[in-house]
Amino acid sequence: MTRSPRRLLPLAVAVAAVPVLALPAVPSAAASYGTPTITFSAAYLSGAVGATGDPTVTVTVAQSGAPASALTVAASASTRGTVARTGDVTVTGTSDTRTLAVAAQGVGYTDLTVKVTGLGGKSATRTLHYAASAAVRDSAASRYLTGSSDASAAVDAGGGYILVGDDESNTLRLYDRNNSGAPVRTWDFSAALGVSKEIDIEAATRVGDTIYWTGSLGNNKDGAVKPDRHTLFTTRVTGSGADTQLSLAGSYHGLRADLIAWDTAHGNRYGFAAGAADGQAPKQINGFNVEGLEFAPGSTTTAYIGFRAPLTPAVTGGRALLVPVTNFSSLFDGSAAHATFGDPIELDLGGLSIRDLRRNDLGQYLIVAGSWAAEDNSAPYALYRWDGRAATKPVKLLDLPTGDAGAWEALPEVPDLDAPGARAQLITDNGSADLYDDGSAAKDLTHPEWKKSRSTWFTLG
């Protein structure tokens, strides 16, 4: 069979008949994209189930050759989804610093893998070690102060900030009182005070730019006499709010001995010598332990020393004890060799003792009342109103909740108690609490970011 010869089109026509497809441009800089980097402001983070405004972590990311806005950050794995899943991790922001938050699902620990994905198909990961504590009552009114679990004294620093003392270390911490998180500034005056062990800071009060701090004055939990716990000191405040600065202003180490000598001279009425003797644990009904400090009505020189122990009489249902130190402010400038005392005050707090004491500029007092016993996380607590005068009986405002971890121990300031809707912020000492259901007391946790105290606002009615 004979075939006709194939007819060829001119080359120009053939090329014109075939459509030309546009190929994607390959960035000339693609090969220069580096491996992304990702760092955390802290590798450990604590949260709470159902919490409002939990602490967050700042995530810093970068990639050479790429703008920060081109990088994405998200959790890619969790070792324990019952505590927190990848979908419970939220990362906000588009700059080189992002904010990472976690919504806890359950109590315990998990490691969260956080991944940054950059251009050129390159990525990097980092592990965030996360711990979640249980939901608490009044969670919407609660915040968490991290870095320590043993808050035991607090005063207002102005501008929405508070200064908090710790009974397990000598560090003073400045916190944003309205937001959960780590302290914005810390101070430790141990070296200047000549102490090497814990002062056991249990109370504080402020007059003008001076803050007075006191140790418990008692023995340690095993009954051993520890002189560093007999320390009182003052700090001078400059600035306010987030700009607050502290400097050491003075100290006094003799108040414990002065109190014992005074009581002995008055027939051992309160048994101070016996309660403070070597071998005696301080948190007994007849023990010796200070947890309150505030000035008397209208005074900047006479201060009330509030006792957790002893009760008076030292029996169930006994009264709480306050001892006025009439030259208190003079103890720190060297003008007084020893403390002088006024008539003691015995208050009916329903068998509870002083755990904190605070006065406002109107002369209104609030008393945090709690048990003298060591069972801080289960003993009863109540909040009382008082006018600071011996003849006036305190009035209970409310019973404080005890179903959650922590002992109510610190009251930064007193609002106008006659104002409608007045609220007071109280802070817990969580040191003996098992926050994460692992059998560890919070004070013994390895990482400070997992240690935390809780603050809660209460409406006083």
Q: Please give the structure tokens belonging to residue 48.
A: 């709470």
Per-residue model confidence as pLDDT tens digits over 311-339: 999 999 999 999 999 999 999 998 889 99
Mean of the per-residue pLDDT values of the chain: 93
3-state SS, one letter per residue, for 390-435 = CCCCCEEEEEECCCCCCEEEECCCCCCCCCCCCEEEEEEECCCCCC
Per-residue model confidence as pLDDT tens digits over 271-315: 999 999 999 999 999 999 999 999 999 999 999 999 999 999 999
**Count of positions (residues) in the chain:** 461
Q: Give yes or no for residue 63 having a pLDDT over 50.
A: yes
- CATH 3.30.70.270 assigned to 33-133: no
Instruction: Read off the pLDDT band of 31 (50, 70, 90).
Output: low
Q: Please give the structure tokens belonging to residue 168.
A: 């397990």
Amino acid letter, residue 135: A
Asked if 107 and 437 touch (Cβ cutoff 8 Å), the reply is: yes
Nearest-angstrom CA–CA distance, 23 and 198? 72
Query: How much is the pLDDT for 379?
Result: 82
Amino acid letter, residue 89: V
Query: How much is the pLDDT for 461?
Result: 77
Per-residue model confidence as pLDDT tens digits over 415-444: 999 999 999 999 999 999 999 999 999 999
Nearest-angstrom CA–CA distance, 270 and 206? 28
For range 198-211, the mean pLDDT: 98
Architecture of domain 139-459: 6 Propeller (2.120)
Residue of 138, 97, 98 whose CA lies nearest to 89: 98
pTM over the 0.85 mark = yes
Asked if 165 and 213 touch (Cβ cutoff 8 Å), the reply is: yes
Neighbours of 381 (CB within 10 A): 22
Query: How much is the pLDDT for 336?
Result: 87
Delimit the domains of the chain by residue range. 33-133, 139-459
Query: How much is the pLDDT for 22?
Result: 46
